[in-house]
Structure 1
Amino acid sequence: MRHTASAVLSLTAAIAAAVAHADEAIVLEPVTVTAKGYEALVSETAASVNVIESDEIRRREARSVGDLLRGEPGVAVAVDGSVGVDPIIRGLKRDQVLVLIDGVRVNAMQPPARGSLASYVNVDLIERIEVVRGPGSVLYGAGAMGGVINIVTRGGRFTDEPDVRGWTRLGYTSVDDGFRGAVGTSLSSATQLLDLSAAWLDAGDYKTGSGERLDDSGTEQGALHLRYRASLAPGHEVQLRAQRDRRENVWYLASRRYLEEPIVPPPGAGLHQPDGLNTHYTPRQQRDLLEGRYEGELGGAWDTRLVASIYRQDLERGNYDWNRERAQDYRTSDTDFDTRGGRLQVELSPHPRHVLLAGVEAWQLKASPVSFVGFAPDFQPDFRLQLIDNGRLESRGVFLQDDIYLDDFTITLGARYDEVQGSADSALGVTAPLDKTDYNLSWSAGATWELDAGFNPYASLSEGYRSAGLLERYLTYPYSDGFNWLSNPQLEPERNLSVEVGARGRIGDTRYTVAVYESRIRDYIGGQVIAPNVKQTVNLDSARIRGAEFSVDHDLGDGLSAFAWGTWLRGDNRDPEFREPLYQMPPSELSVGLAQQSPLGWQWRGQARAVAKQDRTADRFSGGAERKTPGFTTVDAAVGYRFGPSAGLKGHELTLSVSNLFDRDYREHVNEMTAARIDPVNGVQDLRAPGRSIGLTWYAEF
């Protein structure tokens, strides 16, 4: 909790504004921690922020974080056929977007079509999601050039008296015959708190809108989270956190390919592939986190607050390739991505309307992938290949941010310096030099103007960066998008210079936000198709992404509201060799709906999502692999009832939902399957979205 005078002024003003509408429900302005590094009102932030609260998360039948964010302003999704649906922020995706889980970065540096980093946490254990759209490198360093997604997991609070509280959630979805369950409990007192929660999901293959089952689209998930907090003295707290999230039987269907004949290149010229249907999959993926944290109010003339964190996070995943006709794996690999890091942040208030944030951060990612491959004629995976030996990515950075809260203005200035070093003892098929160090300066400047309640404009200019990932530098290997990728250890970091102008406000019973932006990216990193089924990881000279976003929420009274939000986006590859649309840009879209909410009794929600066609494709860069996508419209609906205390429960609710009500058969544009590989007769299906699904969910607190 932020304790500076400016925070007190901001929150007091928000409450006063709500009380001024005494005949209306009191709804406080949304608060963000991610955007500024401390608790602040979104209205005081010179950036676009999505905040998804626990009530909304519980109402949605989502497999992954990407499902929860689908259709949000400025956010789209990438599909590879697995349970992992990748969030895209303003046209930037995967390693261009930083994923945090409880403030800890997730580093797996995964190549395309190998699952979403945001899927390494079970949806039922999420309390809140904050999405900051636009560069966030000043506070978070490498990878935050496109935005930041902070996933906050569930937990209790200190209580004046010893107390035990808990919750549970059970659900079923018809489209995949999926069952889910979760339970959590909190044991609390005035000085100690213990949180324990667990969740599981067992989903089968889902049906598309055409009624066809998408083979191997099911998955199993399990999670166990533990957190202990202790108040050492007023204003001083220590926290220990342990988390394990596990997924099993995840098939990356974008990799699926049918071969009439085996691929048997000359010795030393490549890997063998058997004839028949081949698919990349992982029998298991597991994230283990151990974190220790201290938060202290040190006081003094500048109201000093200190936050220190050290952590170890291991991402373990299997990378296997399966042949249907032989009913065997022909390539296997089990890899640990081991990240150790720490962060120290000091918050100072040299003046009641002035907040200074300073800090240091360091982390190291290590991985040494080994693959066992098979060769013709039996393709038994018994030949050992050391893909990367002692691969390391190390980052060290210092940052400073200054927030000045004036009478009608909030001004934010920030800067950060990072050194990111990549190294490896050896890498298969990659020539020296392997080592490279990037020296990165990030900066931001923004201002918000509290002109009046109906119009609060803001503007920002910032530059973020992303250094190439471990696998982009060193892994020359067949990826699960069906291409053989050639790595490049000397890739330059990509840099995003972004300008944004927007406004927020409330006019009567209507709240709105609007933003327009332009991002100019130097040394954009991508995979250029240089031959059939071969991609080279390259730096493009420059790229430009322009966009506009809005959201409107109108209070109709008695808990009924109407809402709408939309995104317009256009990306251009400005490299002189191409001069064409930027690869895999999501199309524009619009969502509208009505919602009825109440503390007790009936509640319902209906929403339509209309997505435009996308015919701007990167034909030269992708070698014709990017497909045009027709537009589509889907409708979702839900109705539920909230019960008061009964049968020993503090409250519970039952919700019936229908997703894709009219059973539309469609696909998202950012989709790794290519037209050349689709072969339904031989088992290569297009990656169509789930069709109509009826869901039933029960949630209770005790």
Structure 2
Amino acid sequence: MPTLRPSVVYAALACAFSSLSHADEAAHLSEVTVTAKGYASANVETPASVTAVEREEWLDRGADNVGEALRGQPGLAVASDGAQGQNPVIRGLKKESVVLLVDGMRLNSAQPAGAIASFMSLGLAERIEVVRGPASVLYGTGALGGAINVLLPQARFEAGVQTRAGAEFETANDGVRGTAVMNASGGDHALMLGASLARIGDYRASDGEVDHTDYDSDSFIAQYRFRLDDSQQLRLSLQQHEDRDVSYPGSIKPHPHPQIRSSIIHSPSQTRELVEVGYSRRGSGDTPVNVDVRVYRQEMEREIAARAKGPFGRDFSDTEVTFATDGLDARADWLAHPDHLLSFGVNAWQMEASPERFLSSPPTFARGRNDPFDDGRIEAIGVFMQDDMRFGRLNVLAGLRRDWVEGDADSVNNGAITRGLERSDSATSGSLGAIFEVSKLLRPYANVSRAFRAGEMRERFESSPRSDGYYYVGNPRIEPEIATQFEIGLKGADDDLSYALSAYRTRITDYITGRNVSGAPGTNRCPAANASACKETFNLGRATLVGVEAEARWQAVRGQWLTAAYSRVRGENEDLDEPLFQMPADEMSLGWEGRVAAAWTADATLRLVRKQDRVATVFAAGTENETSGFATADFGATWHGQRQRVRVALKNAFDKPYHEHLTEGVSGMEIDSPGRSLMVSWQGQF
């Protein structure tokens, strides 16, 4: 590979400079992501495991949310407690250990049920990028498993008005979705407006309808950009999303009182609103410096309630809470030398919440106030530096970061505890990776990375029931987790073949989880009614994750493509010498896509998931059961017109009954996934 020239780097940075989210042009570059390095970079030149899923890919599969869009990708799985609650899992690490971003901004929250990834509309997104493995150097606390960045449309300086629109109907849930995005530009002004609406009914599994899986969603976005001159821009971005009448059937559990019998968690309304103001400057000359600065305010407001399914028939617990985050991101990329691209910046945010909870406790069901905590706060600030170096055919990426995180609350347990709630932590994260180009199709790489995760707000301050049937006791003094990963792999790509192989080992110290301390009333810190099913948040000594991943796409015959992907992860609880709680099953997917007639393509995908019999026994105390293996098949056909496409697809064509191993719920009461479904969709540009 020739030495990296300033003009080449400058072109790449010109695509990425507008913000950490993504540039107008970046979405059109082949095999390029911005999340792994913070700016546009080719995947085959990045010494890390990276996944990019384009809009067309998840539209073809009829994915309704981020979790569904990533299902089947190597190293990724889904933990779900309902149709809308689909949380992505990276290399066996769940939502608390994955940083989820929308246009580079964190979706901060403390989720009691459902998916934090549901607080945005997939219908508006253009691309999803995933960094698999510790990513704290760029994204700070929480990125033990990696980072997921959902990229929305950006206002573009393209003269005139352009519009894209789409609609979809699916028979399994009688779901209807509609999306439209408009871009208008003239002179130094550019405006983008978008809306996506969804009306989803209860879906049908192979053995009948699954109750409580319906919901409605409305999402709106807007962005205005103003060019100060050829190198500087100002932007204003607005995002609003609302879900209504969402239930989580994975939360259904028995209740000892005869008036309640069993309960289910539901959310009458949940919203996310974001306002961002940003400034970007593109450098020039032989050593350009690109700068991007943003400030933002994000509010995630939620109503969450527990409803009795017995004679009482009403909500006996309801909570209203707003997680408000104020954030600042500042970043610069400097081509200091033709072979050295330096990045440095600062990220700072503060999240606050004061949930209001009302309980109607048996036997009288008199309604009373019982707030889990008051004025909870988490503040984080991090500074980082990264050097992207080129030595002939060798590319080296090195990064270092320092973070400070502080958590505090005025009180917990309805005001009963006011002391000992503050904790401050600091941590150093780092990464060092190298990739060498032997040829286009042979690029070995290796990396070592370190990340950390401080306890999130719910783990620190809230004591309440969870969807696994246990009452969890919060721990304000919880220590941060530290993850260290070593990974080796191979990558390669040409016109007919692209592939990636990787193997990794991750060691986590002070692993945060829930320890079963169930017993008689008075033997633990749970209320008497919950003492027999009680867990406390604590630090497990050590956990180890070892895995392999593979993916390939091959044009066997002109116009005919074959794909394959494979994932395998083994988690070990070293303290108890048993499998780590809730690890994804091994899986493989095989696919074909090709042209079958003029303007027509067809495709088929087979997903094979192995039986998961590696379950925690001592730690889980019988709450994690084995799941059977399964295979599903999807078929589709697409008509490609001039700026129009129509697709018909059959999902789970053989109506296979199954549920993922990470489906949440009381053991034996997990809900099945959707059965056979016919999907029809249309996409157009004007």
Query: Which residue, out of 472, 477, 502, partners 1:515?
Result: 502
Cα distance, 1:599–1:140 mapped onto 2, change above 3 Å:
farther
Percent identity of equivalent pairs: 35
CA contact (8 A) 2:35 2:149 kept: yes
Question: Aligned partners of 2:216 and 2:12: how far apart in 1?
Answer: 44
CA contact (8 A) 2:247 2:265 kept: yes
2:288 aligns to what?
Answer: 303
Question: Aligned partners of 2:140 and 2:231: how far apart in 1?
Answer: 28
1:356 aligns to what?
Answer: 342
Q: Secondary structure at the match of 1:107?
A: coil
Shift of 1:377: 3.1
2:169 aligns to what?
Answer: 172
Amino acid in structure 2 at the alignment position of 1:286 = T
Shift of 1:156: 4.7
Deviating more after overlay: 596-605 vs 691-700? 596-605
1:201 aligns to what?
Answer: 198
Amino acid in structure 1 at the alignment position of 2:400 = A
- Correspondences of 1:285-434 after superposition (within 5 Å): 285-299=270-284, 302-324=287-309, 325-380=311-366, 382-428=367-413, 432-434=419-421
Shift of 1:154: 2.3
Kindly provide the CA deviation profile for residues 269-317 of structure 1, in whole angstroms up to 9, marking residues without a partner as x: xxxxx43231111101101010011110244663111110100000001
Cα distance, 1:121–1:414 mapped onto 2, change above 3 Å:
same
**TM-score with structure 2 length normalisation?**
0.92
Kindly provide the CA deviation profile for residues 568-595 of structure 1, in whole angstroms up to 9, marking residues without a partner as x: 11100112xx211000000110000101
Is 1:255 the equivalent of 2:257? no
2:32 aligns to what?
Answer: 31
Kindly provide the CA deviation profile for residues 144-164 of structure 1, in whole angstroms up to 9, marking residues without a partner as x: 1110000001245212xx311
Deviating more after overlay: 114-123 vs 423-432? 423-432
Moved over 6 A (4+): 9-12
Question: Aligned partners of 2:13 and 2:220: how far apart in 1?
Answer: 35
Q: What are structure 1's unaligned runs of at least 5 residues?
A: 13-26, 263-273, 645-650, 679-685
1:652 aligns to what?
Answer: 644
Is 1:94 the equivalent of 2:91? no
CA contact (8 A) 2:497 2:552 kept: yes
1:633 aligns to what?
Answer: 631
Question: Aligned partners of 1:394 and 1:503: how far apart in 2?
Answer: 39
1:244 aligns to what?
Answer: 240
- Correspondences of 1:80-159 after superposition (within 5 Å): 80-111=81-112, 114-159=113-158
Amino acid in structure 2 at the alignment position of 1:198 = A
Query: Which residue, out of 213, 230, 253, partners 2:209?
Result: 213
Query: Which residue, out of 564, 585, 600, partners 2:583?
Result: 585
Cα distance, 1:156–1:306 mapped onto 2, change above 3 Å:
closer
Kindly provide the CA deviation profile for residues 597-651 of structure 1, in whole angstroms up to 9, marking residues without a partner as x: 699711221100000111011111111100101100001111110112xxxxxx2
Question: Aligned partners of 2:37 and 2:292: how far apart in 1?
Answer: 14
CA contact (8 A) 1:254 1:482 kept: no
Deviating more after overlay: 77-86 vs 311-320? 77-86
CA contact (8 A) 1:599 1:642 kept: no
Kindly provide the CA deviation profile for residues 316-346 of structure 1, in whole angstroms up to 9, marking residues without a partner as x: 0111111133231111111000000001111
CA contact (8 A) 2:9 2:335 kept: no
Deviating more after overlay: 115-124 vs 667-676? 667-676
CA contact (8 A) 1:109 1:469 kept: yes
Question: Aligned partners of 2:326 and 2:535: how far apart in 1?
Answer: 31
Question: Aligned partners of 1:364 and 1:317: how far apart in 2?
Answer: 19
2:677 aligns to what?
Answer: 693
Question: Aligned partners of 1:449 and 1:292: how far apart in 2?
Answer: 39
1:665 aligns to what?
Answer: 657
Amino acid in structure 1 at the alignment position of 2:657 = D
- Correspondences of 1:417-456 after superposition (within 5 Å): 417-428=402-413, 432-456=419-443
Q: Secondary structure at the match of 2:627?
A: coil
1:674 aligns to what?
Answer: 666
Query: Which residue, out of 452, 463, 469, partners 1:465?
Result: 452
Question: Aligned partners of 2:496 and 2:639: how far apart in 1?
Answer: 26
Shift of 1:90: 0.4
Cα distance, 1:195–1:694 mapped onto 2, change above 3 Å:
same
Question: Aligned partners of 1:590 and 1:550: how far apart in 2?
Answer: 9
Question: Aligned partners of 1:11 and 1:343: how far apart in 2?
Answer: 18
Cα distance, 1:598–1:432 mapped onto 2, change above 3 Å:
farther
Amino acid in structure 2 at the alignment position of 1:410 = N
Kindly provide the CA deviation profile for residues 647-702 of structure 1, in whole angstroms up to 9, marking residues without a partner as x: xxxx21111011101000001001221236x3xxxxxxx31111111011011111
Shift of 1:507: 7.1
Kindly provide the CA deviation profile for residues 508-555 of structure 1, in whole angstroms up to 9, marking residues without a partner as x: 832211000000000111112221421111111000000000111111
CA contact (8 A) 1:6 1:405 kept: no
Query: Which residue, out of 226, 229, 238, partners 1:230?
Result: 226
Q: Secondary structure at the match of 1:355?
A: strand
Cα distance, 1:506–1:291 mapped onto 2, change above 3 Å:
closer
Cα distance, 1:11–1:230 mapped onto 2, change above 3 Å:
closer
Q: Secondary structure at the match of 1:544?
A: strand
Kindly provide the CA deviation profile for residues 391-411 of structure 1, in whole angstroms up to 9, marking residues without a partner as x: 000001110111112210111
CA contact (8 A) 1:501 1:517 kept: yes
Shift of 1:10: 7.8
Amino acid in structure 2 at the alignment position of 1:173 = E
Shift of 1:431: 7.2
Kindly provide the CA deviation profile for residues 87-109 of structure 1, in whole angstroms up to 9, marking residues without a partner as x: 00000011100000011001002
Amino acid in structure 2 at the alignment position of 1:545 = L
Question: Aligned partners of 1:227 and 1:53: how far apart in 2?
Answer: 21
CA contact (8 A) 1:101 1:151 kept: yes
Shift of 1:253: 1.4
CA contact (8 A) 2:257 2:362 kept: no
Question: Aligned partners of 1:464 and 1:615: how far apart in 2?
Answer: 30
Cα distance, 1:312–1:599 mapped onto 2, change above 3 Å:
farther
- Correspondences of 1:51-90 after superposition (within 5 Å): 51-90=52-91
Amino acid in structure 2 at the alignment position of 1:68 = A
Kindly provide the CA deviation profile for residues 233-255 of structure 1, in whole angstroms up to 9, marking residues without a partner as x: 11211111000011111112122
Question: Aligned partners of 2:192 and 2:29: how far apart in 1?
Answer: 27
Corresponding pairs, count: 654
Q: What are structure 2's unaligned runs of at least 5 residues?
A: 15-27, 519-531
Amino acid in structure 2 at the alignment position of 1:427 = V
Question: Aligned partners of 2:565 and 2:162: how far apart in 1?
Answer: 36
2:9 aligns to what?
Answer: 7
2:21 aligns to what?
Answer: none
Amino acid in structure 1 at the alignment position of 2:32 = V
Question: Aligned partners of 1:248 and 1:241: how far apart in 2?
Answer: 24
Q: Secondary structure at the match of 1:293?
A: strand
Deviating more after overlay: 595-604 vs 396-405? 595-604
Amino acid in structure 2 at the alignment position of 1:699 = Q
CA contact (8 A) 2:13 2:39 kept: no
Amino acid in structure 2 at the alignment position of 1:390 = D
Question: Aligned partners of 1:354 and 1:42: how far apart in 2?
Answer: 18
Kindly provide the CA deviation profile for residues 16-67 of structure 1, in whole angstroms up to 9, marking residues without a partner as x: xxxxxxxxxxx97400100001111111111100001122132121121000
1:269 aligns to what?
Answer: none
**TM-score with structure 1 length normalisation?**
0.90
CA contact (8 A) 1:6 1:354 kept: no
Cα distance, 1:281–1:570 mapped onto 2, change above 3 Å:
same
Q: Secondary structure at the match of 1:658?
A: strand
Shift of 1:209: 1.9
2:549 aligns to what?
Answer: 549
Question: Aligned partners of 2:12 and 2:220: how far apart in 1?
Answer: 37
